[in-house]
Structure 1
Amino acid sequence: MPSTTPATRNAGAAPSPSVNSLSQPLLARLLAQAGPWRLAVSAGPLGVRIVDAGVETRGSIAAGLAIAEICMGGLGRVQLRHGSDRSESGPDGGWPTRVEVSSGAPVLACLASQYAGWSLAASKEETGGKKFFALGSGPARALAGKEPLFAELGYRDRIADDANADANANGGACLVLEVDRAPPEAVVAKILRDCGLRPEQLTLILTPTASLAGTTQVVGRVLEVALHKAHVLGFALDRIVEGSAAAPLPPPGADAGEAMGRTNDAILYGGTVHLTVDTGDDAARALALALPSIGSRDYGRPFAEVFREYDHDFYRIDPALFAPAEVWVSNLASGRTWHAGALNMALLRGQWLQEA
């Protein structure tokens, strides 16, 4: 495949959108629905806003869908769909609900915003107790630009430098943390410093995986998983024009480990992705064949089992496993479409469903 090229350097192209500015109306909606969606909003370390979507609160699937759209920087749509055909051979694979995702700017939405790529940690000495680690996702990543990925994308975001700006205006930013406790002051200070923000400009959303909102927003990364795999494969990202995807939504696991297994399985064995590209047919066909998870040596077992086998070390798992189950790639240049992979709903039903 051709090597990766920047996503935002096309000659004569319009200026890249600001994922932080576009996400602010979505954040305002989330805050307005805090009561009905069972969220808790409070002041956190250094005065930043904390939105608890499942730590001390119940949270909701509706909140998870909204948080997933915030994570995509206002450049994606995420919705819940109830299956009309509940048979195992039907289009919904015998599972009643699924998360559907689409974007007309999938590279920016998924890789420059949604991808959980910002590593944030604090030692026991810094926290005064238990060490802290989290991966940050969402539009504030594009302000800090700490990951090498942003240099490859050729994208950095900027927000208005206005003394009167707050988190409800263009001067605000949002970061989502998949954690079960609020970040310590040392981590909050790092986020503010690296993003160039004042405390009143930053909102942190906490989404434990073993919660309704947490499970939903992770399954809502099904398109992002495909984009990240395409990046790993070296496909020219500026050739990806549109993207849509879906994955079944399981109930949250009883604990963080089970929840992590379920959300990964939903994508690896139940995720479907359709990418529209503009490239040569050979490159489009190669992408379709290489993308699905079925090509991994670790395919075929529940993710939690694989994780245990490798002593809970993500880096020992075959990277090819982190991919959707089924892929279509359509090429605008020729009008042709290629399909590869397949759903494995039997594995998911075996893990999630207790027959009456």
Structure 2
Amino acid sequence: MSTPERPSLLALSAPLADRMAADASVLRLAVERIGGARVIDAGIRAPGGLEAGRRIAELCLGGLGHVAFGGAGGSPDWPFGVTVHSAAPVLACLGSQYAGWSLSHGKFFALGSGPGRALARKEDLFDELGYRDAGTTAAFVLEVDKPPPEELVARVATDCGIAPEGLTLVLTPTHSLAGTVQVVARVLEVALHKVHALGFPLERVVDGIGTAPLPPPGGGFLTAMGRTNDAILYGGTVQLHVTGPDAEAEDLAQRLPSSASRDHGRPFAEIFAAVKGDFYAIDPLLFSPARVIVTALDSGRSFHTGAIARELVERSFGSAGLP
């Protein structure tokens, strides 16, 4: 059973994984078994697509979030966007969607995200959330460009306490259409992760919604990673509804946007190259949406900070007439 009065991420997400596998031909996915586990290819050998990415994002939110395409783009050149909402944003984003479990075997490495994390509980974060889940199936999303080895599949199943046949692994290369969507759909999760890092009480975050422009997929990893990050850092908007004093809501709003970082102002691919690929050399305060609205539910007041950096979005995405 899950924590009393809190939903089971595993129970909510299992039907999403099953429907995705059943609709594989429509979604242009490939399904195979590796070490007994069900592996869904969403962009390595199978082409995947935008709808596959949208469904993967909802799976990654543990069935507690809704993801939709709309017209909230970052500029006239890029008019379409991805919007994500969750009525339980802390559990959906930090308890499921956050890529917090490091998985490696030999030369294979991936950060595992998805509802299965709440079953393995390899992260201290679950003690902070006070959440534990149980079940016989588990789903993970891996942002990788090659299938995992059987040895890693076996270890993940063991750590989850389930048979390999109950495990679903969804593979989404960053440069693929599905990978692009599922990364950009993390705009709300990125905000929640920074809320946690800033020390704001997570139990006071009641609701949340976020949107970010949909970039074209990059031809290579660095371009793709840069565009998907820039969509959030320079084109993303998040609104959080919180309880508590206005002063604390306003303080959170002031500290939350990506503009609070010393590294703000350059496309992410340039920042990444400048630190020679060392993520830990990048200011962690950069990883947040461009624009933030924090609404204090007790008073009804809202605090707006940050701004969309349209020129940076266009530069990153490769608008006509720009380098």
CA contact (8 A) 2:230 2:316 kept: no
- The offset of 1:112, in angstroms, is 0.2
Alignment root-mean-square deviation, CA: 1.4
Which of residues 140, 143, 150 in structure 1 aligns to 2:116?
140
SS at match of 2:303: strand
CA distance in 1, matches of 2:16, 2:151: 28
- The offset of 1:27, in angstroms, is 1.4
- The offset of 1:36, in angstroms, is 1.4
- The offset of 1:69, in angstroms, is 0.3
Quote the residue 1:229 is aligned against. Answer: 194
Quote the residue 2:262 is aligned against. Answer: 297
Quote the residue 1:155 is aligned against. Answer: 131
SS at match of 1:35: helix
Q: Which stretch of the first structure deviates more once superposed, 106-115 or 177-186?
A: 177-186
- Structure 1 residue 60 corresponds to structure 2 residue 42: no
Quote the residue 2:227 is aligned against. Answer: 262
Which of residues 35, 40, 44 in structure 2 aligns to 1:51?
40
Which of residues 263, 272, 277 in structure 2 aligns to 1:312?
277
Quote the residue 2:9 is aligned against. Answer: 19
Structure 2 matches for 1:184-223, cutoff 5 A? Answer: 184-223=149-188
CA distance in 1, matches of 2:71, 2:144: 28
Quote the residue 1:38 is aligned against. Answer: 28
CA distance in 2, matches of 1:35, 1:192: 27
Quote the residue 2:19 is aligned against. Answer: 29
CA contact (8 A) 2:212 2:231 kept: yes
- Structure 1 residue 109 corresponds to structure 2 residue 92: yes
- The offset of 1:304, in angstroms, is 0.6
- The offset of 1:283, in angstroms, is 1.1
Which of residues 51, 60, 69 in structure 2 aligns to 1:80?
69
CA distance in 1, matches of 2:152, 2:171: 14
TM-score by length of 1: 0.87
Quote the residue 1:168 is aligned against. Answer: none
Q: Which amino acid aligns with 2:69?
A: L
Quote the residue 1:4 is aligned against. Answer: none
CA contact (8 A) 2:233 2:287 kept: yes
CA contact (8 A) 2:74 2:310 kept: no
SS at match of 2:19: helix
- Structure 1 residue 350 corresponds to structure 2 residue 315: yes
Structure 2 matches for 1:112-123, cutoff 5 A? Answer: 112-123=95-106
- The offset of 1:31, in angstroms, is 1.5
Describe the superposition over 1:144-185 as per-residue Cα deviations: whole angstroms up to 9, x where unpaired.
0101111111111111xxxxxxxxxxx321011000111112
- The offset of 1:93, in angstroms, is 2.9
CA distance in 1, matches of 2:154, 2:12: 24
Q: Which has the larger radius of gyration?
A: 1
Runs of 5+ in structure 2 lacking a partner? none
- The offset of 1:301, in angstroms, is 0.2
SS at match of 2:85: strand
CA distance in 2, matches of 1:116, 1:222: 13
Which of residues 132, 137, 161 in structure 2 aligns to 1:172?
137
Which of residues 301, 306, 309 in structure 2 aligns to 1:341?
306
Q: Which amino acid aligns with 1:120?
A: L
CA contact (8 A) 2:75 2:314 kept: no
Q: Which amino acid aligns with 1:55?
A: I
- The offset of 1:53, in angstroms, is 0.3
Q: Structure 1 vs Structure 2: percent identity of aligned residues?
A: 57
CA distance in 2, matches of 1:48, 1:16: 28
